[in-house]
Chains A and B, each alone.
Chain A
Amino acid sequence: MPRIVLEPRFPVEYLSILDSDGNLDTALEPKLAADDLRSLYRAMVLGRRLDERMVRLQRQGRIGTFAPIKGQEASQMGSAFTLRRTDWMVPSFRETAAMIWRGWPIEKLLLFFAGHLEGGQPGRDQHDLPITIPVATQLPHAVGLAYAAQYRGDDVVVMAYFGDGATSEGDFHEAMNFAGVWHVPVVFVCQNNQWAISVPLKKQTHSRTIAQKALAYGLPGIQVDGNDVLAVYAAAHEAVDRARAGDGPTLIECVTYRLGVHTTADDPTKYRADEEVAMWEQKDPLTRFRTYLEKRNLFEAGLEQQVDEDIAEAVRRFESAPPADPLTMFDHVYAELPPDLKAQRAEMAAQAPAAPARPGEPRETPPGATPMRGQRLTRR
């Protein structure tokens, strides 16, 4: 009986187009119109500036715990940029730049992180799922959406986001497996930011890449420089085209880095070295894209100020949103309120409720950080 190497061997590609020194591979450079390049950069800058603003809002107690995206702007914008409005985006909880690009108003995201469920309501014409917090559990939803679109014969691609930690979860593997068997139009985008709170990638998986995990499910997997927006765009564009053409799912691993905290309740100095962060700061996705745009005379002066003004207006809208009426907590449990819940609602209405919380109102006592996912509470 033979013992032989099975063919075909499965390749895993790595794609980089614009490196951190500004070197460009012109043969691989995607053909993006000037306006598209400017829109992409603007969305990345907006993501960065909003991120910084939201951290300050959290420190002031005006919003709650928030998961910053700093450093991951290219991974999420390069990919989300390839979707049409009629396509679907399935986020996890660290995709604010991509969510705003997809049409989420900034003030809604602020409301969400301020504990108002109104912030999690997508617009009627928006093909986006709300933030999903339990890690990897949104991935089967993406596969189901794609199956349903295919079943109805709709021209729709679904793009789902998750992190490196999610690839250890069963739901990730089950979703990849179902997507492969069903051959549905879904693109899995892993933002491999090297750290799942305090656990580094090498303790998360013994695989050399995350991209190669696709091969076990019969899907193409590609690893890209996640801080190179051109490379992410090129890989995502190819995957979306393939999905749209009926050629099935793809896994894209964006190798990036979480420059900030896991959430505003986290203190990364406990588990990672400043030198590592400094090294990744040299690879900042915004800096290298800006250099590229400058070389092509596409850089807009004053962009930061414009973006900051947009954010300031959104913060004002957020803070003037109506207070949370406690009685509305009964509105969206079922289509029709069962008798018992009607009675509970009446019970609440009969009691003098506490003054409703206003969006953005600082709490009287300084906010203690709220840990996420079993992490230790660290006060800074």
Chain B
Amino acid sequence: MPKLNMVKALNLGLFQEMERDRDVLILGEDVGVDGGVFRVTDDLQRKFGSQRVIDSPLAEAAIIGTAVGMALYGLKPVCEIQFSGFAFQCFHQIENHCARYRMRSQGRFHIPMVIRMPYGGGVRALEHHSESEEQFYAHVPGLKMVIPSGPRTARGLLAAAIRDPDPVIFFEAKALYHASKEEVPEESETLPIGRAQVAREGSALTLIAYGAMVRVALEAADVLRDEDGVDAEVIDLLTISPLDRDALVTSVKKTGRAVVVHEAARSFGPGAEIAASIMDGAFLSLEAPVRRVAAYDVPFVGFAREKANVPDVPRVVTAARETLAF
């Protein structure tokens, strides 16, 4: 089994889906000759031609808007928005059209497309290049919102997203692109959208995270084990919407305590919905309030202050200890 980083795993996933289905095509800025600014689409134009891997003009709204038209015709476009911070220039196409065409046309049309966007901090990037704004998409009915946590989940979820008949927003943590290598089976595989995974089993407390924060949660769990003798469970959400509430509830019924970790700003973020789901499904099992460790409610802070804003291991450990001591 080859060991791949997340960039290579995503590239392999795209290659395999394009080989499998001629209706799959890629469009975005610099995705062709250049292979994307993070090289996720590297070499695909050479393999599949410029009609299938399209270097589009620089306009986010028309990338998504024309992809909607392609999807209405029956193709399966995979769009790349170069950085998620630029997606507000196409948010109207995503919200008004991707999410609604099935409903508006009462099932006559549907939008089988994927919108890939690098997101999140950790790469010393300028404004609009390091935000974490998944909550906007997770809130929109009709969309699915997926965030893998490593090479294998990235490849499997991307394949599932491309085969999904509905529009999927697919966030890729820039901090994970080259972070680690993982064994990825050569043959294609899909992971179910809407299903969380238990990344680490435990009984004292549930840490809930996704994307780049899964690593942080796992490291925090190690600290809690080593320093406190506490056995924390870590849930890797993988899909933000539709949320796997059963997985959350099952874990919290066992542990009685939960801390949610995300890079998005705290208020009205995914943590609020996760906490509400736990209240709905596991209220009587709760021994402490559900805590959120998230970015503060401030706009982009610049990478000189980023470490203080994005959740890190000490903040998660502190929140976990307070939750355990409640």
Contacts and interface: CB of A to CB of B under 8 A. Distances in A.
Contacts of A145: 69-70, 72-73
Given A120-B105, A130-B105, A338-B194, A144 B68 contact: yes
Interface string B17-42: 00000000100000000000000000
Contacts of A124: 108
A287 B72 CA distance: 39
A117 interface: yes
Given A140-B69, A146-B69, A339-B242, A117 B61 contact: no
A121 B93 contact: no
Interface string B242-256: 110110000000000
B314 interface: no
B102 interface: yes
Interface size class of B (residues with CB under 8 A): 35 or more
A143 B103 contact: no
Nearest to A160: B69
Contacts of B243: 340
A151 B56 CA distance: 15
B105 to A, nearest CB: 5
Nearest to B59: A174
Contacts of A339: 194, 242, 245-246
A340 B245 CA distance: 8
Interface in A107-148: 117-118, 120-124, 129-130, 132, 134, 137, 139-148
Contacts of B66: 140-141, 143-144, 147, 175, 178
Interface in B78-132: 92-93, 96-97, 102-110
Contacts of A121: 105-108
B302 interface: no
A171 interface: yes
A178 B68 contact: no
A144 B245 contact: no
A333 interface: yes
Contacts of A149: 73
A177 B59 contact: yes
Given A137-B92, A141-B97, A335-B166, A117 B242 contact: no
**Most chain-B Cβ atoms within 10 A of its Cβ — which of A141, A145, A151, A341?**
A141
A120 B106 contact: yes
A10 to B, nearest CB: 20
B286 interface: no
A326 interface: no
A35 interface: no
Given A117-B103, A124-B108, A148-B75, A333 B142 contact: yes
Contacts of B73: 144-145, 148-149, 152
A117 B62 contact: no
A329 B68 CA distance: 22
Interface string A154-180: 000000000000000011001101100
Contacts of B51: 151
B69 A147 contact: yes
A340 B25 CA distance: 31
A331 interface: yes
A181 interface: yes
B72 A129 contact: yes
A245 to B, nearest CB: 19
A95 B300 CA distance: 44
A171 B102 CA distance: 22
A332 interface: yes
Among B68, B106, B245, find the residue whose CB has the most chain A CB atoms closer than 10 A: B106
A141 B103 CA distance: 17
Contacts of A331: 106-107
> Closest 3 interchain pairs by CB?
A144-B69, A140-B65, A148-B73
Given A137-B65, A146-B69, A335-B166, 13 more contacts: A121-B105, A121-B107, A137-B92, A137-B93, A137-B97, A141-B65, A143-B65, A145-B69, A148-B73, A148-B75, A151-B51, A178-B56, A331-B106
19 contacts: A118-B106, A120-B105, A120-B106, A123-B108, A129-B72, A132-B97, A134-B96, A137-B92, A141-B97, A145-B72, A170-B61, A174-B59, A177-B62, A178-B56, A332-B106, A332-B107, A333-B141, A334-B144, A334-B166
